[in-house]
Amino acid sequence: MYFRNALGGLAVLIVLTTSIAVAQTPAPTPTPASRPALPQPQPQSAPTPSAPSIPAKSYVLMDFASGRMLAEKNGDQRLEPASLTKMMSSYVVFEEIAAGRLKRDDLVTISEKAWKTGGSKMFIEVGKQVAVEDLLRGMIIQSGNDATVALAEQVAGSEDVFAQMMNGTAKRLGMDNTHFVNADGLPAEEHYSSAHDMARLSRAMIAEHPDDYALYAEKTFEWNGITQHNRNSLLWRDDSVDGIKTGHTESAGYCLAASAERDGMRLIAVVMGTDSEKARADAAQALLNYGFRFFESHVLYQLDAELATPKVWKGAVESVALGVAEPVVVTVPRGRYSDLKASMDLPRQIIAPIQQGQQVGTLKVSLDGEQLVERPLLARQSVEEAGFFGRLNDSFWMWWRGD
């Protein structure tokens, strides 16, 4: 009997304690935003025309900021990339330099294999020592196959092993329609890529190695008494173009990856399988002009933007501020800015503890039902658990509300 009375007293105490907490704390209302406010819309304009007709086997036009394709034809078709291959070779070398495993002033002894490699040349000599920096220029500006093989051997010991590094990097970058057999792009079985993959690679190189990428804008390079011009004729035609790389073999046709920046907006155009040097330059120029004329980029949310402050249950504070890890940029057809739809996917209940930087939800931005942007919503500060009675109180209200 005494035991039952004691239990009854404890039950009364718990009910009383809960009642006091209920009386002092009104039922909270979760406030997750369903649609973040977009910046002020721009004036409407005419419907966006289709991309120009491009005489190429494959092409893409990519928005650099978002990675979105603005125009494409057979973008994922596997084709011979010719010397566009050297873009991956240079990217791997840039990675090695960034990691400290290779230095620009390292001297490379030129092997007989590198010296004998056919095709376009830097005109290095067997047995001579050449700095990595000079070989990079020979590979990028002069498209020297000899310089490319020399760098591959310096980095990996052999071109075959270097090709394995290239393929590993391609996999990491999501280049699903790419496989390399050599470093220079000479024709070989099972050596292929796609316009889409080359645009992905271009975007990664520009974003991750901007200082090294500047080599692609250099118009001439002299070595061994021979001055050669960059084969990317757009560098002379369009001041906004700062790269990237040409390629040509009889079987691949004429290829070009080009990038340009105008008024803070960068685009990447890749054309593969055209009939001439002029055709590839005209095609890339037409794509770039189309993109800059009929699309516009906007920064929707800055890094420090507070996009939502939803309710936190069982936390030491009532809410948590959510933001993004980097500025959110979107590229849309001109005049369609006001048609953007932004929303947040948040869980029904957010429960402490929460660590700073932890993903709490997802930001989505769409146009005409097509999702343009998806970014994680991150906690801008940590939220510790509330004390015992605070957690008990929130547990009651979560039960009461059916959450």
Catalytic-residue membership of 19? no
Catalytic residue among 57, 86, 121, 314: 86
Beta bridge partners of 227: 222
Give the residue with greater pLDDT, 352 vs 379.
379
Residue 16 has pLDDT above 80, yes or no: no
Sign of CA dihedral 28, 29, 32, 38: negative
Tokens of 227: 């001055």
Structure tokens at 337: 């800015």
Catalytic member of 58, 90, 143, 193: 143
Rg, C-alpha atoms of the chain: 29
Tokens of 321: 């501020």
Which CATH number among 3.40.50.1360, 2.40.50.100, 3.30.70.2750, 2.60.410.10 corresponds to the domain 27-42+300-401? 2.60.410.10
Record the tokens describing residue 116, joined without a space: 């004998």
Q: CA 181 to CA 226: how far, in whole Å?
A: 30
* 27-42+300-401 against 58-274: fold identical: no
Cross-strand bridge partners of residue 63 = 267
Residue 184 CA to chain centroid, in angstroms? 25
Q: How far apart are CA 218 and CA 2, in angstroms?
A: 93
- How many Cβ atoms are within 10 Å of 401's Cβ, its own excluded? 13
Q: For residue 113, what pLDDT is reported?
A: 97
Q: Specify the pLDDT at position 352.
A: 84
pLDDT at position 356 over 80: yes
How confident is the model at residue 13, as a pLDDT?
Answer: 30
Rounded to the nearest 10 degrees, the angle between the axes of helix 159-172 and helix 145-156 is 80
Q: What is the DSSP letter of 203?
A: H
| Tens-place pLDDT, residues 235-291 | 999 999 999 999 999 999 999 999 999 999 999 999 999 999 999 999 999 999 999
Q: What are the φ/ψ torsions at residue 208 (nearest 5 degrees)?
A: -95, -25
Whole-structure pTM over 0.85, yes or no?
Answer: no
The least confident of 299-313, 345-359, 385-399 is: 385-399
Q: What is the distance between the alpha carbons of residues 148 and 1, in angstroms, rounded to a whole number?
A: 92
CA distance 256 to 373: 28
Name residues whose C-beta falls within 8 Å of residue 6's C-beta, 6 or more positions apart in sequence: none
How many angstroms separate the CA atoms of 176 and 197, rounded? 7
Residue 57: active-site member? no
Domain range annotation of the chain: 27-42+300-401, 58-274
Task: State pLDDT tens for residues 44-100.
Answer: 556 889 999 999 999 999 999 989 999 999 999 999 999 999 999 999 999 999 999
Are the C-beta atoms of 231 and 143 separated by less than 8 Å?
Answer: yes
Q: Does domain 58-274 have CATH number 3.40.710.10?
A: yes
Residue 111's CB: how many other CB atoms inside 10 A? 18
Residue 14 scores a pLDDT above 50? no
Find the range with the poorest average confidence among 26-40, 158-172, 286-300, 379-393: 26-40
List of residues 6+ apart from 41 with CB closer than 8 A = 337, 338
The more confidently predicted of residues 80 and 300 is 80
| Whether residue 338 lies in the annotated active site | no
Q: What phi and psi, each to the nearest 5 degrees, are found at residue 227? A: -95, 125
H/E run at residue 139: helix 132-140
